[in-house]
């Protein structure tokens, strides 16, 4: 199969979209499929990502990554968005590659950047399927970034719902990975949504790792963590990830547990880093912000932690939830968004009521004080995520892609079959 992927982001940026695509490429290459990936150019972020060049060109057998001209993204120093004029490159690369199907990750973000719905025109011209993948609840982020009366915020959100539905309904399908997200996109007016377990985790890497003594001291130079309960937070340090609630709840947590008995390990970067370091550092003895961690280091880091904590209520799936369960540690997460589909409340972790610091503290304190419960939940989590390996997730995606290709082939045949015969050309004397 020849597959063209167009994405709003890729490595070296580490987030749910880029990690998903990187794992998808590994599986597709291993199975011998030909893949073209079009992504923003990260050359301008060479100081932030000195290894950016390792993620462009022929990075795997049968996989070619083409960078597209880009601008700074949303005012964030560590991301890029494609420029409108990059659309010419998109069309040229698609024309040279001649894909069987086009798959677009985050078409709403790309549409706003390119000022065109990516892949649609080419797919219609060449009569091939073109599908989109819904990764991010951007509409829900408006509350975190726009300061204005609620009535105006609601109006902005309503407008974007209409725009996003218009964009996604232009595709042959909108793929989503969680049942909760499926319900959300249907409420937005997206009529072509298809839900399946299209996302996963790197099972061989996570299952191969064991806990090791003094891991954080030997790997990251962090001392005196062995006798603490290690809480690991993973995600961008931006307002949409619920850090405001985390800091608020932390002030109550220190009244319920001895702060010296707990260590906070935060993986990720963003504009809130300095304020988080100051706010949380004033409450706990052990607060360590590790910045960006390469995906290949995450299995060992999670396996040597004790509890994965997130306050983000706007995740569509939350790959780190799957990864934490695969690492054998329990999860504390809000009862909101797509994460609820991947946590068995009371069995593989706890769900707390969103924006309820008392519920958060009560459940986190219980996990901190009960090692046997943590171990039992961790073991249950490993069993729970068995169906979510990337191998299985990509196989589901391939089956779906092939179904759409076959449908289009039948449509072409039916059109040809029912077309009136053309009269023969008359010969001249």
CATH of the domain at 89: 3.40.50.2000
Domain span including residue 360: 203-387
Q: What is the pLDDT of residue 205?
A: 96
The H or E element spanning position 373 is helix 371-384
Q: What is the pLDDT along the chain (429 residues), one digit of tens a residue?
A: 999 999 999 999 999 999 999 999 999 999 999 999 999 999 999 999 999 999 999 999 999 999 999 999 876 788 999 999 999 999 999 999 999 999 999 999 999 999 999 999 999 999 999 999 999 999 988 888 888 888 888 899 999 999 999 999 999 999 999 999 999 999 999 999 999 999 999 999 999 999 999 999 999 999 999 999 999 999 999 999 999 999 999 999 999 999 999 999 999 999 999 999 999 999 999 999 999 999 999 999 999 999 999 999 999 998 999 999 999 999 999 999 999 999 999 999 999 999 999 999 999 999 999 999 999 999 999 999 999 999 999 999 999 999 999 999 998 777 776 666 666 655 443
| Residue 380 three-state SS | helix
Which of 159-164's residues contact partners 24+ apart within 8 Å by CB, and which partners? 161/188, 161/189, 162/189, 163/108, 164/108, 164/138, 164/139, 164/188, 164/190
Q: What is the pLDDT of residue 420?
A: 66
| In a shared domain, residues 324 and 270 | yes
Residue 21 lies in a domain: yes
What domain count does the chain have? 2
User: Based on the number of CB atoms within 10 Å of its own CB, is 418 exposed (0-12), middle (13-18) or buried (19 or more)?
Assistant: exposed
Q: What is the pLDDT of residue 428?
A: 46
| In a shared domain, residues 181 and 284 | no
Which of 295-300's residues contact partners 24+ apart within 8 Å by CB, and which partners? 295/14, 295/19, 295/22, 295/202, 296/205, 298/234, 298/267, 298/323, 299/202, 299/205, 299/206, 299/208, 299/209, 299/323, 299/326, 299/327, 300/209, 300/212, 300/215, 300/219
Residue 424 lies in a domain: no
């Amino acid at each position: 199969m020849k597959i063209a992927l167009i994405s709003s982001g890729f490595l070296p940026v580490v987030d749910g979209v880029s990690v998903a695509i990187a794992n998808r490429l590994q599986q597709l290459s291993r199975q011998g499929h030909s893949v073209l990936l079009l992504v923003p150019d990260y050359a301008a972020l060479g100081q932030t990502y000195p290894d950016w060049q390792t993620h462009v060109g022929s990075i795997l057998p049968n996989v070619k990554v083409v960078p597209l001209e880009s601008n700074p993204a949303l005012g964030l120093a560590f991301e890029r968005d494609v420029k409108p004029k990059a659309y010419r490159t998109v069309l040229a690369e698609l024309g040279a590659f001649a894909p069987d199907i086009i798959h677009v990750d985050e078409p709403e973000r790309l549409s706003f950047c390119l000022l065109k719905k990516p892949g649609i025109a080419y797919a219609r011209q060449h009569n091939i399927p073109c599908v989109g993948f819904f990764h991010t609840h951007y509409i829900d982020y408006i509350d975190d970034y726009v300061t204005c009366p609620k009535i105006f915020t609601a109006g902005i959100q309503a407008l974007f719902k209409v725009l996003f539905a218009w964009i996604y309904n232009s595709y042959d399908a909108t793929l989503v990975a969680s049942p909760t997200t499926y319900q959300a996109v249907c409420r937005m007016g997206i009529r072509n949504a298809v839900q399946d377990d299209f996302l996963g985790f790197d099972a061989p890497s996570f299952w191969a790792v064991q806990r090791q003594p003094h891991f954080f001291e030997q790997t990251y130079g962090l001392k005196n963590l062995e006798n603490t309960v290690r809480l690991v937070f993973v995600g961008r340090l931006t307002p949409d990830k619920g850090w405001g609630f985390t800091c608020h709840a932390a002030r109550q947590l220190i009244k319920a547990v001895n702060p010296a008995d707990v260590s906070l390990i935060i993986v990720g970067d963003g504009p809130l880093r300095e304020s988080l370091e100051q706010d949380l550092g004033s409450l706990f003895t052990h607060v360590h912000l590790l910045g960006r961690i390469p995906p290949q280091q995450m299995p060992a880091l999670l396996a040597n932690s004790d509890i994965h904590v997130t306050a983000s209520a706007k995740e569509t799936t939350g790959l780190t939830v799957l990864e934490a369960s695969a690492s054998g540690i329990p999860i504390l997460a809000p009862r909101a968004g797509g994460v609820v589909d991947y946590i068995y409340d009371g069995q593989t972790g706890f769900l707390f009521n969103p924006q309820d610091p008392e519920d958060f503290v009560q459940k986190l304190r219980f996990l901190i004080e009960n090692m046997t419960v943590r171990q039992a939940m961790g073991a249950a989590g490993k069993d729970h995520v068995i169906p979510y390996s990337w191998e299985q997730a990509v196989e589901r995606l391939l089956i779906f892609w092939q179904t759409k290709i076959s449908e289009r082939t039948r449509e072409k045949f039916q059109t040809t079959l029912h077309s009136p015969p053309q009269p023969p050309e008359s010969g001249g004397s």
